[in-house]
Amino acid sequence: MMGRVAVLKAYGGDFELREYPVPDPEPGAILIRLTRAGVCGSDLHIWRGEMKEVYGALPRDLTFGHEMCGRVERLGTGITVDSAGHPLGEGDRVAFLYFFPCGRCSVCLPAGRDGELPAQGPGEPGGGDGALFQQRVR
């Protein structure tokens, strides 16, 4: 199976579409066929060249995207449920969360709560199973 990706070649410039071989999902992973993708404010800042201190004076084949949805193409070994514990199968529609709260780091914890972990179960922020980052679209 081949996939396509849009690569930024120059700040403020056009994107180049490239094809690449899509690997089979590893155990515990999911292959998603994207159907829609969004462009966020950070993407625009990068495209304009306003984040060169992070990405370099010249873009080095940057690819964008952390807002997307699609359908489950293939499930890796051991995957039977989504991040909320609901059954997941090939063909199911999913929407990505661009981050999956771990409930442990300073970004997830309010100021002054370092070290306190919320008492939550698998599939919930702080539940310890952050390997899945998609949510089934109902």
Residue extents of the structural domains in the chain: 2-136
More confident residue, 55 or 130: 55
Cα(27)–Cα(7) distance, integer angstroms: 28
Cα(19)–Cα(5) distance, integer angstroms: 7
pLDDT for residue 111: 61
Cα 16-19-20 angle, rounded to 5 deg: 130
- Three-state SS for 33? strand
Architecture in CATH of 2-136: Alpha-Beta Complex (3.90)
Summarised one tens digit per residue, pLDDT across range 53-96 is 988 898 888 888 778 899 999 999 999 998 878 999 999 999 87
Cα(31)–Cα(79) distance, integer angstroms: 11
User: What single letter denotes the amino acid at residue 118?
Assistant: P
pLDDT for residue 112: 52
Cα(62)–Cα(11) distance, integer angstroms: 10
Q: Which two tokens stand for residue 24?
A: 């089979």
More confident residue, 123 or 26: 26
pLDDT for residue 88: 94
Q: Is 8 exposed, middle or buried, given 0-12, 13-18 or 19+ CB atoms closer than 10 A?
A: buried
User: What single letter denotes the amino acid at residue 100?
Assistant: F
- Average pLDDT score over residue span 109-130: 46
Q: Is the pTM of this model over 0.75?
A: no
End-to-end CA distance of the chain: 28
- Average pLDDT score over residue span 128-135: 38
pLDDT at 26 over 70: yes
Q: How confident is the model at residue 117 (pLDDT cuts 50, 70, 90)?
A: very low
